[in-house]
Every structure is written in C-alpha cells, then in structure tokens.
Structure 1
Amino acid sequence: MPIKKIAFIFLFFNIIFLNSALAQKLTEVDKIVAKYSKSFASTEKLADKINKDFSSDYDKARAVYSWIALNIKYDYNAFLNPPKIQGFSYSTEAEKQRKLKQLNDNLIQKAFKSQKAVCEGFTALYQHLAELVGIECEIIRGDSKTRLADIGRKNTSSNHAWNIVLIDKKWRLIDVTWGQGYYDSSKGRMVNDFNPVYFDTDPDYFFAKHYPDSGTYLGNRISKDDFLNGPLIYNKTIENDNKIKSPDSGILEVKSGDKITVEIKNISKSDQVFYLNKRNQPVKVQNPKEKRGSLEFQILADNNLGDYITIFVNTNSIVSFKIVHK
C-alpha cells in the first residue's frame, strides 16, 4: 500500500477517534452549542441564541461555558509577551469608573472578535455573556497550581482568574480558561481540548488548584498551606472523582527503605496503576488492596525514586508528590 494512502488512513481514523472522544465528553447542552456558528455578529446575538435554546439558568451558564471553551483559544503568545498596562488619568470617580468600563468592554470585544484571549479575556467574556442571559456572575483573581514545581512553593501570586455564577441560590465555580485546553510542553504549544470538569467544579478539587487573592470563598477561609503544600492533581482526578485519601501532604519526607502508603478513591485492582522512577521507567504498584471504594498500595522509597513521583491510573496522571530525601 502506498505510503500516502497509509498516512491518509491513519489520519482518518485518528480524526474519528478524536471526534468520538470529544462526543463522549459532551452533555446535551454541549452538543447543541457545538453546532452553533463559530462567530456571531455580537455578544448580544449569541446571548439571544442561548436564551432561545435553553430555559434553565444552569443550562444557560453551561452553554456560555461550552461556546467559549469550544471557540476561544488561549493566546499563549500574549501570555509570554503581555501588553503594557494601559494607564489613564481621571478627575472624578465617575470618570474613573467610565474609563475602567471602557477598558473592560474593549477586552471583551477583543476576545470575542479575535477569538483569542488569556484568562482575563476569558473571564471577562464569560461574565459579560452570563449577565446577558440573566445570570449573576463575578470574576475572582488568584493563584493557580499546574506544575510539579508548584508543590511546596513558599508564596502565592496573583497569576490567574476564574468565575463564579449564582444558580438556584448557589454559587458555582467555573474556570473556562482551563476548559478550552492545555499547554503541551513537549510540543511547545497550546492544545485545544474541551474539558467539562471546570464547570461547576467541586470546591475541594477546585481549591486544590486555585487560591483566591482574598484567601476566602463565600466568607470561609481557605488554607494557604493546604494549597501550597498539597499534592498536584490533574483533570482526570476531578473527572473520575479520584480523591486522594492518603497522603494528605504533597511533600513526602522519606529515607531509604520507607514505604509510602497511597490511597485513591474510585480505582480498583482491575486498573493499571503505576508510577515513573527517576529514569522515567514505569513501575507497577505491588500488592494493592481494595478498601472502602478505594485502592491502597505502598511505594518503596529507594534509590530509584526521583525528586517527584506521579501516580498514573490506566495511563492517566492522577496525582504528583514532591519527594524530600532525608
């Protein structure tokens, strides 16, 4: 068979697989929104379409999330080379608020028209569209935890933003920036990969990866130490509700011969569970025990253990810990 034909067949089946994987992620609301135009004449036209197709606030909020995540791409170049902060002068508080609103309106329209943004554009556009469909929405700014190096960081920084929406008298957490995809360091580019887990995310999972500048959520204090020193969790952790029952710290002080006990919810002996040693070789966990809807196993701390350890379940990364060798 000619090489070109083989390549075409491979590409064809790869597209089918990717489309099938995306279809499995989509709710009925997402499937409707996925058929929308990729561009609208105005945000008001998009909001009118959402109001026409959906009746409940929950479905409208989800529709806004889906359209943005499916159509607005993360502008990684703008992230690497942020524009200079635009200053302005004013003589009255009313003039200040008017100019701030104009800057925000420009940010919204730029994200909507160019279909590119960083988190500020994503959150501003989400808030704008949510309010157009009649949903109360706010923007929260804070820190994010995405890399191994974030485990055990000393301080938080204000480097991210997300939304909360009020639906049925309950505030819901939303990060539409992370819903649209992720950065693939091996390819050096953003990968568009719609992910529903950052819509109405469980607060326990959400605040393992987010820390608000205020240090509070709905008046409740959030532990900065838990955020900084907790383990790093991944999208599949949230999607599969793989709560990390043990260890509760992301920083593990061990000496040679110690055994690290790990317990993860919603996995069983039938799952393939392994970690990578410091040479990036997979090591299958030995003698796992099923325990109250979880799987418990031990990892031997030896010379093959690197500075970080990531647990995989069926090839999906679930949790990472920082190893401190005594």
Structure 2
Amino acid sequence: MAIRKIAFVFLFLNVVFLNSSYSQRYSALDSIVLKYPSFGSPEKLAERIQKDFTSEHDKARAIYSWIALNLNYDLKTYLDPPEPKTFTSKNELENAKQIQLAHASTTQKAFRSKKAVCEGFSLLYQQLATLSGLKCQFVTGDSKRLLNDIGRKRLGSNHAWNTVQIDGKWILIDATWGEGYFDEKRQVSVKKFTPIYFDMAPDYFYMTHFPESSMYAGNTGNKEAFLNGPLIYNEFVDNSCEISAPFSGVVHANDGDKITFQIKNISRLEDLYYLNKKEEHVKIENPKEKDGQLEFQVTYNRKYGRFITFFLSNQALAAFKIVPKQI
C-alpha cells in the first residue's frame, strides 16, 4: 500500500509540474485544454470545447492544442507502413461510402489509442471541428521535412493536414507537426508541442506542404519548384525569414566554390553558423547588410557532405542541397 501511495504522489507531482510548465510556456487557452480530463468520445470532447470557447478561432485552436498535446505519433507505422487500402466498388457512391467507413475507423482508433500517423491526426481534427460547428477539410499531399526531401524525384501523397474556416477565412493547420517532430539522426519521434502550425502563413506553410488537389494549392507554384526549394525549419518561421538567394534549394557548386546567400530578418548574426561532418561550427564568410537583408558566403567543401544546414542560436534555420556542376 505504501508503494502505491508513493507512486501516486510521484505521478501527481509530475502532472502538476507538467501543467505548471505548459501553463507558463503557452497561452491561457492551451493551458485550459491541457487540464482537460479524459473523454469517452469525440462528441463529449467537442461538447466541452463548445462550452469553454465561443469564437471560431478559439474552438479551432483548442482542437489543435488538444490533439497535439494528447496524441502521440505512431513511429512504428510510419517506419513500416501497411499496404495502402484499395477499394473496388462498382460505382462512385459505393466507393465514397467505403472511404468514409475507413476514415471513420481511423478516426476512432486515433481517439481511443491516442496514437496515429498524419492521417489519423487530420481526420480526428476534421471530426472534432465538425462536431464543434466549424467547416473543415481534410487535405492530402506531399511534404518536405527531411534533408533528402530537397530535390528528390516526385512521389505521391505522403502527408495529411487540414484547412478550417474561421470568420469566413480558410486557415492552414497541421496538428501532426504541432505534436512534435521526427529526429532523423536518432530515428526517434520527439514530442514537442509546436504552436506555429496553427494558422501558419501560407507562404511558409506551402514551402513544406504541397496539396494533392489544386483546389487547395492557391499560388503554390508547381511540384518541381516545391521539391527543389530549400528546407525550412521552425526557427525560420519564428523569425519571419525570407531567402532571396540562391533562387533554389538545390545549389550547383564544386569543391572550393563560394556560394552567396541572402536571407532577410536575421538579427543575431553572431549566432549564425553551419556544421561540418564532425559537427563543428563553421562561421559564415563576408557577412554584410544589403537592402535590409544579410548577405554572406560559404566556401563549399565536399568533405562537409551534400547538404548545408544553417543554424541560428543552435536551432536549425534552413538547409540546401549541393550538387556538383557539370563539367
């Protein structure tokens, strides 16, 4: 009995500490959602959200926060995905019913197990949004999150997210990336609540997301330009950075060539660097302010590898792929 009491006290203190930590770090709305108890159904959760929040914005944000804070990414399924489901119906109506049933099963599993990949995150968001009186769409498409995504060949859909209508305006939401991120080096999923993937500016969102359907694409350009663009990280968005040069994320350079970069809104110059293969800090060269942006150079050394990733205050900022020039 004493051991059980100690374990309970330890668990209680952990919950209190987490609540306190999150409350200090995130908004008041997120703190309210963090303290929610377990709910027996999505309907019960939606009822609570509608009780606690009245505006469309707050409801949409509460759903985002609840999913990002409560669901865990299913890394096992991500690394070893099952065979895609195929539907062999005689007509479009029957096919649509089968897809709807499959989506309902995925949504229910995500809510009950608190574990899913992007499809489960996004379908659950859509269900909770609909139950809360919001107009919401489930969107599939391509995404860029790993270094090898820069300049890769075209592939089909590999990600899902949402767009939800708030006060007549459709905004972009990725609750999966709001939950955390995949550590490519360690091959582990890291849970880290990330608020920026709620209502992210389209210019930034579409640098890492490319919708399968043209009805969601807006002015996102073509698929090749998307894949060849630089890889941006959360720090890039947080600092409202813009890249003026190079014009592509795929840079053609040979050993010893100087590559010129121009990035707007970098205020902490002394903290900007990239890494060599030994993960040693390498300072940028010839930095100068020009037309409201920072211009600097990097002398390419093939020993550093195929990619150059810039860091700002020890946080990844943006990455480029280096391809040898044709001689």
Structure 1-normalised TM-score?
A: 0.86
The residue that corresponds to 1:224 in the other structure is 223
Q: Do the aligned partners of 2:264 and 2:294 also contact (CA within 8 Å) in 1?
A: yes
CA distance in 2, matches of 1:18, 1:35: 10
CA gap 1:216/1:28 in 2 versus in 1, 3 angstroms: same
Alignment of 1:219-258 (within 5 A): 220=219, 222-258=221-257
Task: Check 1:187–1:61 CA distance in 2 against 1; reply closer, same or farther (3 A cut).
Answer: same
**How large is the Cα RMSD of the aligned pairs?**
2.6
**Structure 2 CA distance, aligned partners of 1:243 and 1:80?**
33
Aligned 8 A contact 1:25 1:196 in 2:
no
* Alpha-carbon distance between aligned partners in 2 of 1:302 and 1:270, rounded to the nearest angstrom: 22
**For the structure 1 residues 96 and 68, does the alpha-carbon distance in structure 2 shift closer, same or farther, using more than 3 Å as the test?**
same
Contact kept? 1:269, 1:290, Cα under 8 Å: no
The 5 Å alignment of 1:261-280 reads: 261-280=260-279
In the alignment, the residues of structure 1 paired with residue 275 and residue 178 of structure 2 have an alpha-carbon distance, to the nearest angstrom, of 27
Partner in structure 1 of residue 40 of structure 2: 41
Shift of 1:314: 0.9
Q: How does 1:1-326 map to 2 (within 5 A)?
A: 22=22, 25-37=25-37, 39-85=38-84, 95-215=94-214, 217=216, 220=219, 222-302=221-301, 304-326=303-325
Distance 2:66 2:19 in 1: 17
Whole-Å Cα distance in 2 between the matches of residues 143 and 58 of structure 1?
26
Give the residue type in structure 1 aligned to 2:30. Answer: D
Aligned length: 311
What is the Cα deviation at residue 325 of structure 1?
2.7
Where 1:63 maps in the other structure, the secondary structure is helix
SS of residue matched to 1:149: helix
User: Which ranges of structure 1 fall in alignment gaps of 5 or more residues?
Assistant: 1-14
Q: What does the per-residue CA deviation read over 1:56-91, in whole Å, with 9 as the maximum and x for residues that have no partner? A: 101110000000000011111122333445566767
Deviations 1:100-145 (A, max 9, x none): 3332222111100110111111111000000111110011111111
Deviations 1:168-204 (A, max 9, x none): 2111111111110112234332111000111111111
State the AA in 2 paired with 1:174.
I
Which stretches in structure 2 are left out of the alignment for 5+ residues?
Answer: 1-14
* Pair 215,195 (structure 1): closer, same or farther in 2 beyond 3 Å: same
Structure 1 residues 26 and 208, CA gap change in structure 2 (3 angstroms): same
What is the one-letter code of the residue matched to 1:244? I
Taking only the aligned residue pairs, the percentage that are identical comes to 51
Instruction: Tell me the amino acid that sits aligned with residue 183 of structure 2.
Output: D
Point out the more displaced range, 260-269 or 121-130: 260-269
1:100–1:217 distance in 2 versus 1, CA, 3 Å? closer
Q: Give the letter for the 2:77 counterpart.
A: A
In structure 2, how many angstroms separate the alpha carbons of the residues matched to 1:262 and 1:208? 18
Confirm or deny: 8 A CA contact 2:22 2:31 kept in the other structure.
Answer: no
CA distance in 2, matches of 1:258, 1:19: 51
Relative distance call for 1:160 and 1:88 in structure 2 (3 A) is closer
What is the alpha-carbon distance in structure 2 between the residues aligned to residue 186 and residue 251 of structure 1? 22
Q: What amino acid is aligned across from residue 130 of structure 1 in structure 2?
A: A
| Secondary structure class of the residue paired with 2:260 | strand
